[in-house]
Amino acid sequence: MAALWMAGWLALMLMITVAGREALRELNVFEVMFIRSAIGLFLLFPLIWCAGGVALVRTQRLPQHIARNTIHFGAQLGWFFALTLIPIGQVVAIEFTMPIWTAILAAMFLGERITVWKLFAIVLGIIGVVMIVRPATGEINPGQLIALLAAVGFGISVAMVKSLTRTEQTLTIIFYMLAVQTAGSLLPALYAWQWPSLAAWGWGFVIAFCGTFSHYCMARALLYADATVVIPMDFLRVPLTALAGWLLYSEQLDAFTVLGAALILTGNLVNLRSSTPVPARAAT
């Protein structure tokens, strides 16, 4: 079940990467974040209403929600900004240093075990990512550094989501994510606002839809498996994004990229075959 929910995450995240690149040709990154969060909040309301309405968003862990989503907001801004500076394949590849931080934090604060096979799967994935990125000059440009800082933020965010799933429902987690991001991006978006074209509105809606329901898929996957199992499955997004970059933007897809993708896939297979299933919790 975790693998099936992660398949939904992969498809939606691939679409949001392309839509983000296209929307940022015209709009400021804060404007994109506001459109993404505000529309996403609107799309979420029918699900919240069907699942119990106002009662669903009541929480005893408001500080944790605010802390998690403030970190995630900063990471999301960095990720979108990096899309304007370096190829989309590099943005997503660098993002995959995230499992290092997630695994460490999950082990330190959530009591999860990092087995030898889990560690081996993560190492294979990271080696594959490095092979795809491989900076030609050995220097990290600003876009790569911003993408790396975003990855650290995402790693902290995912570990905090895993903690929240122990007491909070999936829709509750997503609601507070969108609410905090809408509030955080409102004033900067208004300051830099320029009315989007019809095409930009379309890309904004794609970003909102995919961004909202990709997190639903991720939160559901984390109900069925540890973060150290779920996150390495996301390594598949690297070769998929590299392929999209090649097809849509003529970004290079060479032997190193193919070999890196093979290592990433191998790591995922090792991780899935060596993991023990975790029963789903009843409250979802």
pLDDT in tens, 55-65: 888 888 899 99
Lowest-pLDDT range of 5-14, 145-154, 205-214, 271-280 = 271-280
Residue 284 is assigned to a structural domain of this protein: no
What's the pLDDT score for residue 199? 93
Residue 116 is assigned to a structural domain of this protein: yes
pLDDT for residue 33 is more than 60:
yes
What's the pLDDT score for residue 275? 57
Residue 282 is assigned to a structural domain of this protein: no
- Of residues 142 and 201, more confidently modeled: 201
Q: Inter-axis angle of helices 237-249 and 116-133, to 10 degrees?
A: 20
What's the pLDDT score for residue 279? 47
pLDDT for residue 135 is more than 70:
no
> 193 lies in which domain range?
2-274
Averaged pLDDT score across all residues of the chain: 83
What's the pLDDT score for residue 203? 95
Q: Could you give the CA distance from residue 214 to residue 198 in angstroms, rounded to a whole number?
A: 24
Q: Could you give the CA distance from residue 237 to residue 201 in angstroms, rounded to a whole number?
A: 25
What's the pLDDT score for residue 280? 44
What's the pLDDT score for residue 21? 92
Question: What's at 262, amino acid-wise?
Answer: A
- Of residues 283 and 175, more confidently modeled: 175
Lowest-pLDDT range of 34-48, 69-83, 242-256 = 242-256
pLDDT for residue 139 is more than 70:
no
Look at the alpha carbons of 177, 183, 187, 193 in this order and tell me if their dihedral is positive or negative: positive
Work out how many domains the chain is built from and give that number: 1
pTM above 0.85, yes or no: no
243-250 mean pLDDT = 87
What's the pLDDT score for residue 262? 81
Residue 255 is assigned to a structural domain of this protein: yes
pLDDT for residue 274 is more than 70:
no
pLDDT for residue 19 is more than 90:
yes
Task: Report residue 106's pLDDT band, with 50, 70 and 90 as the boundaries.
Answer: confident
Residue 174 is assigned to a structural domain of this protein: yes
- Kindly calculate the radius of gyration of the chain based on its CA atoms and give it in whole angstroms: 18
Residue 239 is assigned to a structural domain of this protein: yes
What's the pLDDT score for residue 251? 82
Residue 20 is assigned to a structural domain of this protein: yes
pLDDT for residue 276 is more than 60:
no
What's the pLDDT score for residue 235? 75
Residue 238 is assigned to a structural domain of this protein: yes
- Of residues 283 and 153, more confidently modeled: 153
Q: Could you give the CA distance from residue 61 to residue 164 in angstroms, rounded to a whole number?
A: 8
